[in-house]
Structure 1
């Protein structure tokens, strides 16, 4: 990665906690690896080496110095996740909450890829040895359906289908506030946040087109349960768009309220449905995946 400089827009607490939130989100680094980066002087504040406990203040400059990643190997591990559908060309998996999709420096195991290598004999090689079979990603704290390719031919076709909006993806999200209209569309470009590189934002600067459709499923006193359909697959798209219209996803540590950072479950965002034409057989693939128990428990809590 290139050197990164961040000018803080507000007091941000301890350096180690801030750096962990940023580097885990951006690069899937582990806490121990981030601690090592601070100790070895690869993360500076105002060009100085400081303690991991340093309290970050508004206008502090954080510099993350590019460091060659440690050599890692994706190893097979027996991990707990559900395979919803499988044939000779592809499979659909239900990614659990808190599981990173693929290994990265400082985070070599415990990922979906590690689990796939244990369960599946053949995976496509297009994504490289650390991302075998991975056609698209979900955030660490987002649950639900993902497509995995078993061979390169299928992988290429699925990638083209994603680019051409030929894979229908539906999400279920719990958001802050009460949304009044029954349906709506957010058509707003998304790019990197200029003041906080771990975040994306709605902007015209170095941005990409992004469109999200939403529909109200249920209203509560101070929250709304919605269905989202995305036409584009930008980083954090639903999270950014819902925050943009002042209805951030509950539990979102980046785009919601400060207290949401304390929600152990993470954001209440679930990839509920995938529907597409099988790129090899032409068969219609249409699967749904129920929300996790913790998500359902939260809905029950709001109903009572």
Structure 2
């Protein structure tokens, strides 16, 4: 995929690449030939040193970090594992939220894989691994006369589909989510309205805190 790196690059040095991942593209290849196309696959064609650090869901856009050597990969991966990074996502959800503006509200309920309905995940209070997110209202507005809210989400843990399941759990699924939104909510947007908008982590060599902001496309 010519010029993919050029088109999506946010930051690059000898150790780190930060990419603006498009919605609808896998972070890494899936199982089977039909799912080989991914951000990692395309980057490797242009930069063979590309190493995976973390992932975003296929339909989520925004900030995605790759390392350019093993030491950097290990250093940044540990930051993600030990929750030392700062992450903020922007989303549009169904309905008008009633939480006070400027306040962050907590969602603290475990999320697990739903073996009976793959690839879905579900909120399960009895599950052993915790899942914690915070959300803040930016504005309440309407799409096609349907009430929606623009919010900021801060995941503390990093469970699969966590933000999508947590917003569904509180009765406000993400607009455009073909797995968790209502039929009406799915019809309001052509994509999942979830974007990794801000990320901070410590550079593996310099020790400097790097802060990245990626404009929300919806």
Q: What TM-score does the superposition give when structure 1 sets the normalisation length?
A: 0.65
Partner of 1:188: 109
Match of 1:212 among 123, 126, 133: 133
The answer to whether the Cα contact below 8 Å between 2:177 and 2:193 also exists between their aligned partners in 1 is yes
The answer to whether the Cα contact below 8 Å between 1:219 and 1:225 also exists between their aligned partners in 2 is yes
Is residue 2:164 matched to residue 1:164? no
Partner of 1:74: none
Is residue 2:24 matched to residue 1:106? no
SS at match of 1:99: coil
1:176-216, Cα deviation, whole Å (9 max, x unpaired)? 00111133010111111253121111114555211101111
Q: Distance in 2 between matches of 1:169 and 1:92?
A: 14
Q: Which moved more, 1:98-107 or 1:144-153?
A: 98-107
Q: Distance in 2 between matches of 1:102 and 1:79?
A: 18
Partner of 2:121: 200
SS at match of 1:220: strand
Structure with more strand by fraction: 2
Is residue 2:67 matched to residue 1:149? yes
Q: What TM-score does the superposition give when structure 2 sets the normalisation length?
A: 0.89
Match of 1:273 among 190, 198, 208: 198
Cα distance, 1:262 vs structure 2:
4.9
Structure 2 unaligned spans of 5+: none
Structure 1 unaligned spans of 5+: 1-76, 124-132, 296-304
Q: Distance in 1 between matches of 2:63 and 2:106?
A: 23
Q: 1:258 to 1:108 in 2, by over 3 A?
A: closer
Larger radius of gyration: 1
Match of 1:92 among 13, 18, 31: 18
User: How many residues in Structure 1 have an aligned counterpart in Structure 2?
Assistant: 208
Q: 1:70-149 maps to which residues of 2 (within 5 A)?
A: 77-78=1-2, 80=4, 81-104=7-30, 105-107=32-34, 109-123=36-50, 133-149=51-67
SS at match of 2:28: coil
SS at match of 1:158: helix
Match of 2:177 among 252, 258, 278: 252
The answer to whether the Cα contact below 8 Å between 1:144 and 1:289 also exists between their aligned partners in 2 is yes
Cα distance, 1:268 vs structure 2:
0.2
Relative contact order, CA 8 A, sep 6+: which one is greater?
A: 2
RMSD: 1.7
